Amino acid sequence: MWVDQPAFEAAKRRVMDSAAPSSGDDLLGMEIDFVGLLDRAEGVHGESVTAKRTSDPGCLIEATCAATPGIPLEAAIRGIEGVWLSLLRYRYFEAHTTRVALGEAVLDFITQIDGDGFYVTGRVRVTAGRS
């Protein structure tokens, strides 16, 4: 569910206060999924996708990619949002927010595997494609 930044931060805090962050093979699997699936996003240059795990519970996955040359950042972040919602998020719970600024678009997210299970937080940054 897309929410504005304050509502996203509140939802993120609620989940983080009540559950444990993902780790080990579960988090590695999410990192691999980001690399393997973000290239399916409409408007994203597939060869530009990277993802890495961090030790920050507030941003466990950091992913980057570039928009396909000539594609506006607004369109690329919508494509990423579509892949997030259909292929990457856990079904139990998710919240995300997007923003577009000069030269980049960002999708911040949190998702939880089940009511008693772990969560994954992260960010996808999209930069303008170069032709």
| pLDDT at residue 3 is higher than 90 | no
Supply 103's token pair. Answer: 């030269």
Radius of gyration of the chain (CA): 14
**DSSP-assigned letter for residue 86:** I
Would you state the pLDDT for residue 86? 97
Alpha carbon distance 51, 65 (integer Å): 9
Would you state the pLDDT for residue 131? 61
- Is residue 43 a part of any domain in this protein? yes
Q: Which amino acid is at 115?
A: G
- Is residue 5 a part of any domain in this protein? no
- Is residue 119 a part of any domain in this protein? yes
What is the DSSP pairing of strand 93-101 with strand 61-67?
Answer: unpaired
- Is residue 10 a part of any domain in this protein? no
- Is residue 68 a part of any domain in this protein? yes
Q: How many domains does the chain have?
A: 1
Comparing CA positions, the residue from 31, 70, 66, 30 lying closest to residue 52 is 31
Would you state the pLDDT for residue 17? 97
- Is residue 115 a part of any domain in this protein? yes
Alpha carbon distance 88, 98 (integer Å): 16
Q: What is the band of 129 on the pLDDT scale with cuts at 50, 70, 90?
A: confident
**DSSP-assigned letter for residue 115:** T
- Is residue 111 a part of any domain in this protein? yes
- Is residue 72 a part of any domain in this protein? yes
Give the domain extent around 108: 17-127
Mean pLDDT computed over 52-61? 97
| pLDDT at residue 46 is higher than 80 | no
CATH at residue 40? 3.30.460
| 112 vs 3 pLDDT, higher one | 112
